[in-house]
Amino acid sequence: MAKKIKKKIKNKKEKKIKLGTSKETAREKMIGQHIGYRYDVNMLPDYKKITPFLKKYVEAMGWDDLNWLEDVHMGYEEGRPAVFCRNANGWVTIPKKIKLPNDQQSRDMIARELLIKFQMSPKHPLVDLKKAYKKG
């Protein structure tokens, strides 16, 4: 009996390691590969889980809610949690030192905050592009 319980725990651990890599949906099983950006694009944000940073951002922009950030979700690329930056047209992986909560809504809020920090950073790839190609 005890052995069975141990086995179950092991399976759960394996699932955590393979975060975002397993073929779970019927679509993924049908095409035989994992869809890296799989998350519910229709998920509406839970405003109870908004972070203090996002609150400040919304106030600074003069908006009443998350606005365009409602479309930002945490995805998974190559088995790692990541957020897609539309301006750089690439996935930005979440640093390993950041501990992620278990629910997708809280993860989405973290993804939104990190995306803002990435986009506003002077290290963003668009900064160099702007310097090189900006007209006038």
Partner 1 sequence: MANLKTTEKKSKAQSMGMHSEVLTGRTQQKFFNPDEAENFYYFGTYEVDFNKRTELDVKNMEAPEANKKIDSLMSEGYGTIVIKNPQGKHSLGVGILNKLNLIFEGSLGYFGVGSCDGPSVRINGRVGWSCAQNLMAGKVVVEKNAGSSFGAAIRGGDLICKGSVGARTGIDMKGGTIIVGGDAGAFTGFMMQRGRIIVLGDVGINLGDSMYDGNIFIGGKIGSFGSDAVTSDLTSSDKDWLKRKLKVAEIDENFDVSKMTKIVAGKKLWNYDNLEPTEKKGAI
The interface mask with partner 1, positions 21-50, x = CB under 8 A, is ------x--xxxxxxxx---xx-xxxx---
Q: Which is nearer to partner 1, 17 or 26 (CB)?
A: 26
CA-to-CA distance for 64 and 21, rounded, in angstroms? 36
Binding-site residue total for partner 1 (CB under 8 A)? 58
Is the CB of 13 or the CB of 123 nearer to partner 1? 123
Cα–Cα distance measured from residue 34 to residue 72, given in angstroms and rounded to the nearest whole number: 20
We find the least distance from the C-beta atom of residue 106 to partner 1, in angstroms, to be 14
Question: What residues have CB less than 8 Å from 77, skipping those under 6 apart?
Answer: 20, 36, 37, 91, 93
Among 10, 22, 51, 61, binds partner 1 (CB under 8 A): 61
Q: Strands 75-77, 80-85: parallel, antiparallel or unpaired by DSSP?
A: antiparallel
- 3-state class (DSSP) for residue 91: strand
99 binds partner 1 (CB under 8 A): no
In whole angstroms, what is the distance from residue 31 CA to residue 25 CA? 10
Q: Which residues bind partner 1 (CB under 8 A)?
A: 27, 30-37, 41-42, 44-47, 53, 56-57, 60-65, 67-71, 77-78, 82, 84-86, 88-93, 95, 98, 114, 116-127, 130, 134
